[in-house]
A and B are shown apart, each in its own frame.
Chain A
């Protein structure tokens, strides 16, 4: 089989699984999950084979695996759809396949497969006491469809197919956030997520329309590897002054990323999306779908940066991207510090880490952005799955002790280290990777590379912002680990928590291997002591995705020391602050920070701000202004006025003209004759002698007239 054929086949098994489950297999939970996991295994196997072929191929960047079919003939040209494996898509495929597979397996345990159905459980609500999820099969159908969307996106060779995968994922995200639709909060969250990302999507769609009308193609290779096209796009002005066509297209596409990757100011949906089941949070809202937003800007890097030369001043578009990314990284990290829900901390952390990647793209650090994309997918999926395991353990505890505490609130936990050792150690690995714990963890290498790049290119604002954000990251991560696993149990429920089943812990172990190991593939050559021991494979490989191989940056000790300093410092501070929180105690930061803490806890009041300034005015505009005033008031009002006026004119014509004048005139003739007749009737007596008298009288009058008046 040709490798290209195999690439076409990779996304299909999950799609088939979706249809098989929906069309009948849903009756059996076991068959449903077997089909879903089996299909994911097939895709995973195909992906691994393709990945292996990709890394062993000669110069994959110049000679990628590519295959296209004509999808929509337009005029002389045709719109082709195709698949492409170049270094970037190969590496993305690698992490997508692994994380999806891990999460599929994890879902079996998470949804309590093997436990009897609890009669009290209702479809649309989470199981109350450890019974199997009532909509178990449906869950696997949805995540299979999701996996199809993500794999399509990754394997696409053009922006249109990418957009198709993007939208399929958006739909699945909507369905899965609202999986427990019996909860009003979940229903609100699903709509919020869909609508917010949709705002980004339409701008992205416009970007695609613009790009297509400017170049006549949406294929990556035809645009990104085409020097004259890029130059043309970078040098022609767009409708917005100061932006080239490439700049405006890039900006429109980037708005899509802002929505999908939950960057400020469209970040509000992601924390609420935690209403969905935890595997969904791990897969969609950490490892894959939100990464797709970053994948888009990494993928279109040559377009976004058209007109920019390494080391030169940033283009306006890049400046915007860098600003949004860096700002989001810091902004979300500060919110994460004040959240108590174990999943919401991770949600804000995801927003923050995606901000790192966006900022990296903004300053032109292509390799660093891609590297962090990969490492983050592994360690954040690990953390989410770990948190799901924790919540599961806590729920058991809550159920066993009948203690009414929120099983997701970290202040109700504590001491879970001994109860859930596998979860603890893997969570620790994930947390340290997130914090950038030096040398050992993958997160260190990728984060360090972003900082080093910002430093080397003198992007001081970005460098300082990201460094501060990294300090906060380490701090809130250690806060989370300390509150959850260390110290003493703060509730009875925590004391009764127990370790999760193997289907949940096995994926944790697999992912933690990657959370540690994957970073060693990208150790800079100039790194002291260990640099060069393992070749900087990642840079060499991924660089092939660009027309020109990016240069490595010279080693500098300053960013390295900063990066180590903030990571260790943040971890230490977090541990010192939170290690002695007593049962029922409040956050130690609450007093010293005062009102600031409240602002952070309320996420800077963005939800309230949007409700007051966007949602409500929009409803007013729709309901009151457009519907009541214009449509029913002005337009219908005018129509009804016309109707009434016509009626009035009609009745005026009838009563004032028709009846008295027209009718009157007509009547006058008839009535006149009638009246005259009436009058003359008196002479119609029927007596001959009277007629004769009348005759004689008239004859006399006539003769007199003739005699007297006619001379």
Chain B
């Protein structure tokens, strides 16, 4: 048996999460250091996996398969290809920077990190899954701690409401998807939950058309598809900083990825049939999210709704069902994950010091926290698709793909970039430039080195991909080709 790299990535967080529980709760320092070690190992292993993936060979690699519940054909089966490998790396990055950002949490840090790490294992597990049952299993592991993390450590004003809203939406979504998954299992009649086997099950076109919406839209709830996107901004805002980073950065990709992996890849005929609807809803996402973001006065809500808008681009890329769009969507998942983690980190840093997120009450922070301002501006440039940053590398292929399928959608989605530019510029102008309100004079403490490290890591990734796209684009493209091989033609 080869070195179980993926299992190490998947189980490192939960191992450290359990380990943390043995520490005395008051020993904050030891807890934080242990958490950082765990996150560093997970990040290191994901980076190693990313760079040791053999691009020339493509296909699934680092495969491990162990029977789990043989009676039902359930196995523990993991492997990565060009589509999910970047997402594994993304999770490692967000986990690592999330721990750095959460250094200052004083309220039960032991439990906080333990839950966060259970969540991380769930996320890693979903991304690496090649078994449908296992995917659902990890999916629930990922969703469940979210409730506690928001309800306990969240923003006091809305945390209970938001945690409940989020959990209800996501469980309803996953139940619907589960029904679809079970339908596939029984229809295939192969006594196997293995997705590689289900890919060749030869479901009839009618079957695919009927069950595709269950699976796709069930998971797409977590991807924030309109009109069931509404849990996400509320959830983002109520969550503590590191959880928001995870939430918007990784969890929404979980939904999008599962929609792709289970929906489009297992039921390609269904995908073709339903693509126009996805296209329409995702277009609404893009424009709608941008519009709402542009009128929010709460800094965090601006970013929350911008995620709704940007996830729309991911879904648009999927719906093109062509190579350009699919590749763009894959890169966008990664790029948006890093970008939005950066955004929420910045929002958290500002909020921790100003104790308000009302944009009109903020101002002049560039002078007090220049690095934070620069980081936010870099994130902003990514989000408006500036060339030289990763957002452009993602959006340009998406628009190319869209133009081939639906030019009018391309035009509408492109106009939303103008709105994006508008709200980013508004936030930059108001929060970071402009006058520093007198109440903050002398009260804003500088950020610490761990915060700096987190910002630099996130921003550097965004620039690196923008300047040197070869580091990611060909990899994702190989994954997109595999998807399209299943979809066929189109």
Contacts and interface: CB of A to CB of B under 8 A. Distances in A.
Q: Do A and B come from one complex?
A: yes
Interface of A: 70-75, 124, 160, 163-164, 167-168, 171, 174, 178, 181, 187, 190-191, 194-195, 198-199, 202-203, 205-206, 208-210, 212-213, 239, 619, 621-623, 626-627, 630-631, 635-636, 639
Interface residues of B, number: 46
A198 B417 CA distance: 8
Given A203-B414, A622-B295, A627-B295, A73 B474 contact: yes
Given A72-B393, A198-B384, A627-B295, 14 more contacts: A72-B473, A75-B323, A124-B433, A160-B387, A167-B388, A187-B429, A191-B422, A194-B425, A205-B396, A206-B399, A622-B419, A626-B291, A627-B296, A635-B227
B381 A191 contact: no
A304 B453 CA distance: 48
Contact of B403 (A203, A206, A636): A206
B410 interface: yes
Nearest to A123: B367
Interface in B375-408: 381, 384-388, 393, 396, 399-404, 407-408
Contacts of B384: 198
Interface in B402-432: 402-404, 407-408, 410-411, 414-415, 417-419, 421-422, 425-426, 429
B418 to A, nearest CB: 5
Majority SS of interface residues in chain B?
A: helix
B381 A171 contact: yes
A194 B403 CA distance: 25
A167 to B, nearest CB: 5
A163 B387 contact: yes
A638 to B, nearest CB: 9
B473 A191 contact: no
A635 B402 CA distance: 28
A112 B401 CA distance: 52
A75 B414 contact: no
B403 A209 contact: yes
30 contacts: A71-B469, A72-B469, A72-B473, A74-B474, A160-B387, A163-B387, A164-B388, A167-B388, A191-B422, A191-B425, A194-B425, A195-B418, A195-B425, A202-B414, A202-B418, A205-B396, A205-B399, A205-B417, A206-B399, A209-B396, A209-B400, A213-B404, A619-B295, A622-B294, A622-B295, A626-B291, A627-B295, A627-B296, A639-B165, A639-B230
B421 A626 contact: no
- Looking at B295, B404, B407, B434, the one whose CB has the most chain A CB atoms below 10 A away is B295
A164 B434 contact: no
Contact of A191 (B227, B292, B419, B429): B429
B324 interface: yes
A195 B425 CA distance: 9
B171 interface: no
A160 to B, nearest CB: 7
Nearest to B401: A213
A213 B291 contact: no
Interface in B153-186: 165
A630 B385 CA distance: 27
A685 to B, nearest CB: 61
Nearest to A163: B387
A198 B418 contact: yes
A622 B384 CA distance: 18
Contacts of B291: 621-622, 626-627
Interface string B314-327: 00000000011000
Nearest to A248: B407
A167 B421 contact: no
Contacts of A124: 433
Nearest to B230: A635
B274 interface: no
Contacts, number: 108
Contacts of A187: 429, 433-434
B411 A206 contact: yes
Given A73-B474, A206-B410, A626-B291, A199 B418 contact: yes
Nearest to B417: A202
A160 B386 CA distance: 12
Interface of B: 165, 227, 230, 288, 291-292, 294-296, 323-324, 381, 384-388, 393, 396, 399-404, 407-408, 410-411, 414-415, 417-419, 421-422, 425-426, 429, 433-434, 469-470, 473-474, 477
A195 B422 CA distance: 7
A213 B400 contact: yes
Given A164-B387, A167-B387, A623-B295, A191 B426 contact: yes
A205 B388 CA distance: 14
A584 B429 CA distance: 39
A213 B327 CA distance: 14
Contact of A205 (B294, B381, B414): B414
Nearest to B418: A198
Nearest to B426: A191
Contact of B477 (A74, A160, A164, A174): A74
Contacts of B292: 622, 626-627, 631
Contact of B434 (A70, A181, A206, A635): A181
Contacts of A619: 295
Contact of A195 (B227, B421, B474): B421
A622 B293 CA distance: 8
Nearest to B472: A72
The 6 closest A-B pairs by CB, nearest first: A164-B387, A622-B291, A623-B295, A202-B414, A209-B399, A209-B400
Contacts of B387: 160, 163-164, 167
A191 B417 CA distance: 15
A168 B388 CA distance: 9
A73 B470 contact: yes
A626 to B, nearest CB: 5
A639 B227 CA distance: 11
Contacts of A210: 403, 407
A178 B474 CA distance: 39
B421 A198 contact: yes
Contacts of A621: 291
Contacts of A622: 291-292, 294-295, 419
A147 to B, nearest CB: 16
B477 A71 contact: no
A216 to B, nearest CB: 10
Contacts of B433: 124, 178, 181, 187
Nearest to B433: A181
Contacts of A74: 473-474, 477
A190 B469 CA distance: 31
Nearest to B474: A73
Contacts of B227: 635
Contact of B230 (A75, A203, A213, A636): A636
- Looking at A202, A203, A210, A635, the one whose CB has the most chain B CB atoms below 10 A away is A202
Contacts of A73: 470, 473-474
Given A160-B387, A212-B400, A631 B230 contact: yes
Nearest to B290: A622
A636 B161 CA distance: 12
A82 B173 CA distance: 48
A195 B292 CA distance: 17
A630 B287 CA distance: 13
Nearest to B165: A639
A213 B403 contact: yes
A518 B79 CA distance: 66
B229 to A, nearest CB: 8
Contacts of A163: 387
Contacts of B415: 199, 202
A71 B426 contact: no
Contacts of B401: 213
A626 B288 CA distance: 7
A669 B294 CA distance: 64
B418 A72 contact: no
Nearest to B421: A198
Contacts of A195: 418, 421-422, 425
A522 B174 CA distance: 72
